[in-house]
């Protein structure tokens, strides 16, 4: 994908999170990463989605220097940059405050894999990332949020390409993917899985996670080396 096409996809992805109900007001942002030029394109801070145009988008280096754009980038930019630096293979990051996924984040709970819908998108539990300390929040809140997410995946030996989502304690979810639109799709899937988990546990409070053999089957038939879901 060339850089101009990436910019169009970032714009489309930001419009989409509002259109599908993942982002109310301006509670969300999507970015895209071009590995060839090592540039990141992200939504500007506080701009309503229905007013967002391609020339509003902000282009940055991986170390956070603004290269193009007259508006301030999203306040979550340092988190996005930390994920791009640490997770090879991702080229899109999406942050929303979608209702059900955010409920899990605010409750400080990971999202268990209760069914095959979840397993189609995430290879197991979506983790909860630790609460930042007062000192960390005062020093570099958004940057250390990104570092804490990276530490969460490394310490639990989670492959970020197999579980492309995290719940930040007291905050909200972040998802990522191989493109900005794939990152949004993962946010949609995460929100739906969180909603189904809440409904399922309200019906059966003793609900247990999906058996491992079903988890493996559903994830690998869609994402494994012998995947046969969809068309060639």
Catalytic residues: 120, 229
Nearest partner of 107 among 176, 167, 188, judged by Cα:
167
CA angle 149, 152, 158 (to 5 degrees): 110
Angle at 129 between CA 35 and CA 215, to 5 degrees: 80
Residues with Cβ within 8 Å of 122's Cβ and at least 6 positions away in sequence, in order, are: 113, 162, 163, 164, 165, 189, 190, 193, 219
What is the H or E stretch that residue 61 is in? strand 58-61
- What's the CA gap between 206 and 31, in Å, rounded? 39
Nearest to 52 by CA among 19, 3, 77: 19
Task: Compute the CA torsion angle 164, 169, 173, 176 (nearest 10 deg).
Answer: -30
Cα–Cα distance, 43 to 198 (Å, whole number): 31
């Amino acid at each position: 994908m060339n850089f101009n096409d990436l910019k169009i996809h970032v714009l489309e992805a930001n419009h989409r999170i509002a259109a599908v109900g993942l982002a109310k007001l301006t509670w969300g942002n999507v970015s895209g990463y071009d590995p060839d030029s090592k540039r990141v394109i992200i939504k500007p801070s506080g701009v309503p989605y229905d007013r967002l145009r391609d020339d509003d988008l902000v282009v940055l280096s991986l170390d956070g220097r603004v290269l193009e754009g007259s508006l301030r980038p999203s306040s979550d930019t340092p988190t996005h940059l930390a994920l791009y630096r640490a997770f090879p293979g991702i080229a899109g990051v999406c942050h929303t405050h979608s209702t059900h996924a955010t409920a899990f984040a605010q409750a400080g709970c990971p999202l268990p894999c209760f069914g095959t819908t979840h397993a189609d998108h995430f290879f197991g539990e979506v983790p909860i990332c630790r609460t930042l300390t007062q000192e960390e929040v005062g020093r570099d809140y958004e940057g250390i949020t990104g570092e804490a997410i990276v530490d969460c995946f490394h310490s639990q030996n989670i492959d970020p390409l197999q579980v492309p989502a995290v719940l930040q304690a007291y905050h909200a979810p972040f998802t990522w993917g191989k493109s900005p639109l794939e990152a949004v799709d993962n946010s949609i899937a995460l929100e739906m899985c969180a909603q189904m988990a809440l409904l399922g546990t309200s019906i059966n409070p003793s609900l247990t996670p999906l058996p491992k053999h079903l988890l493996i089957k559903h994830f690998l038939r869609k994402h494994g080396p012998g995947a046969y879901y969809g068309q060639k």
